[in-house]
Structure 1
């Protein structure tokens, strides 16, 4: 089988070596397309592929139609909204992700952003501490659970809301479950977002929701850009000069947010999974899943069933 690694934003060299070793040990062939600058390059590379490993690359109907042999695409990472999963399902192409492989990297970034924020973005003036603060985690999946683990070390009070996670699971992690999203925002000094971009969540973090936060509240987004209602959050920040917003996903209205000097920060690009460890973990997990799929038909990580 021919396995294409197609990454506009490439894996680390060590990750590529690990993926190649896994795939070739199973008797499959690796084809590498890195730093491509045109969709035509991707379409040409896909033509003879039986499987693909991608990162945040856009895999639309054109890409999925480019090969009659394509059977599986694995997103090396958790989020897969850049892939047309419904069209893939119609064509019988399995789409998988690698949940949990980037979780610790994203969680650590949350606290990098938070320390930066509570210390006034290192402006030389007196800031505050995280110890004793109430941290709200919106969605208690792999990343949320790692955030809770790290928060305990900072001595924070940790709360969480997840409509799909049993309260018992949240409590077993030493975290206080909230009845709903509104209660989480009302209760906590800091809210960290870990929700996917779905029909229900897109633009759900809006004026009314964030406006429920206490004085001095901090909103952290390392999830997806689409969950933020940018015009409404800009309006709120203009009215509530006590609030801060930090993110590793540059908003569309970055220049408007940038006007809130000392209360807004965005990394130059999405950095949650940008560690050598996460990069390697996700890539090798993707390779192993492809090998299992071809060996036994294993689809336990399929997201388009």
Structure 2
């Protein structure tokens, strides 16, 4: 090791930078910290020296494994100059008390501008025209384009990137409509964006379509043949979000038929696509009406500088004992409280994600914007419930917006709630004397409110019966508890159950008749889907109301109980739409939702 890396000034924290970062950010660190730039380290080299450092700054190449974190005895923070933290073992870092931060906003402007660049390139045939002219051709009549002024841009996911795209498009004179169940109506109105409630309302109206969502089960293949066929003939599509939100083969077919006039694609299911020449990504890129770029959405000088400065500032704050702006994990409470809360943080996040995926899918009911989060039993005695509040916001928003799951934490949860128009009221019952569960958490989702303004409910408020939190019975309810630090779901609306919310799940609503389980099992087996576990949830509650379950945990017999039930199946892989359709048609199931937790 060189002398700079061997020993810094006495008492100054040390920072290791094994990848190239913008010098502007590193200059900030050098004012109070010792910074060692050690590019080209092998994993073994990194492992041998990591124990000397208080902070580690990385981009995408360095793998921060559990083994590395175990060896990093002094490490307080891992800072990722960018958004994704797939190369960091966040769970191990959390267990070891290492804060993981990223820069979720540093490159949003770059991604939005690249979206507009592809939009304009499609409209005016820029790449084709350039290639033609370089080929010594003069094809003005063949390359006539269209103007974007007066055209309609449809945006799926009105988060940070989507909102900037909307404002840029408005500046070009475009009309903008958007689909996002948690978009704030006030923010949308301020950007002159019209919100719609479904893909069916959005797709037939747009001349250009762009998506800005994460890639999860609910968004994978979101735009396929059915959706593309709903679009206007001659419309165009853009993807600067995640490879896979468009069904690449369906898009290729739509381009071949001419129904879709063009596609501007920056992200692919296979990257780099040439690794698999026969992949859907490679075939799509080869199409003459596809303008393709090699994942350049965040690749600007300014974006790289922004993310470097952002994470370097956070490292300074954390090493000074302050809170970070963008903690991916958030062990920023007292150790004793964190130990108590940790399993419930996971539970509440799963409950929020389960709600969003189960209830607000394309064929489900309209989204709610008002939620009650009710704590009963021992969990109600914890004074700091901010991690639970943050976990709910994280679970609710991660499946449907470009706030990636790791970007919501106790630092920014209330801000994100305000931005998304989500109202969460926390309530407590400290009477645990007769609880069936030592701690029970219930999430109640109310119908959309036109007049609700953001306010975080007072977590110290105490009530004696959860019925105080309820209005009409059109709300949705999910309850859960923890057993041996493992989260369990105990209720979904009228149905009583007990299952661990983990992995790929199928939630089947069906009539509870003999042989139903066997029929469903045979259909899944025929399609090569293995069932890891199954839980049957009978209709044990009289309605979608919480007052049928008193605080003592007893269950009132349902007066209007039917022979309906839920069948919750844990499966070994994502289930395709065709299989879900077969379950409904052949299996006699009322409806099926696929959920990834």
Q: What TM bracket, shorter-length normalisation?
A: 0.7 to 0.9
Alignment check: 8 A CA contact 1:116 1:122 kept: no
- Aligned pairs for 1:108-257 within 5 A: 108-120=113-125, 121-123=127-129, 124=139, 125-252=143-270, 253=279, 254-257=281-284
Aligned match for 1:67, one of 61, 69, 72: 72
1:266 paired residue number:
292
Please, what TM-score do these two structures have when normalized by structure 2? 0.45
Deviation at 1:258, TM superposition (A): 2.9
Deviation at 1:233, TM superposition (A): 3.2
> After alignment, is 65-74 or 127-136 more displaced?
65-74
Aligned match for 2:55, one of 45, 48, 51: 51
Q: Distance in 1 between matches of 2:301 and 2:53?
A: 27
SS at match of 2:170: helix
SS at match of 1:110: helix
Alignment check: 8 A CA contact 1:131 1:155 kept: yes
Which of 1 and 2 has greater Rg? Answer: 2
1:126-156 per-position Cα deviation (integer Å, ceiling 9, x unaligned)? 0111111111122222222221121112100
Aligned match for 1:277, one of 283, 302, 322: 302
The structure with more strand, counted as a fraction of residues: 2
Q: Distance in 2 between matches of 1:49 and 1:184?
A: 51
The higher-RCO structure (CA 8 Å, 6+ apart) is 1
Corresponding position: 1:21 with 2:35: no
Q: Distance in 1 between matches of 2:298 and 2:312?
A: 18
Aligned length: 295
> After alignment, is 214-223 or 193-202 more displaced?
193-202
Aligned match for 1:299, one of 289, 301, 324: 324
Q: Distance in 2 between matches of 1:290 and 1:145?
A: 28
Unaligned runs of 5+ in 2: 1-12, 130-138, 271-278, 331-597
Corresponding position: 1:89 with 2:88: no
The structure with more helix, counted as a fraction of residues: 1
Alignment check: 8 A CA contact 1:4 1:45 kept: no
SS at match of 2:317: helix
Deviation at 1:189, TM superposition (A): 1.3
Q: Distance in 2 between matches of 1:246 and 1:179?
A: 25
Alignment check: 8 A CA contact 2:233 2:259 kept: no
Unaligned runs of 5+ in 1: none
Q: Distance in 1 between matches of 2:55 and 2:181?
A: 34
Alignment check: 8 A CA contact 1:81 1:197 kept: no
Please, what TM-score do these two structures have when normalized by structure 1? 0.84
SS at match of 1:109: helix
Aligned alpha-carbon RMSD (Å):
2.6
Deviation at 1:56, TM superposition (A): 3.1
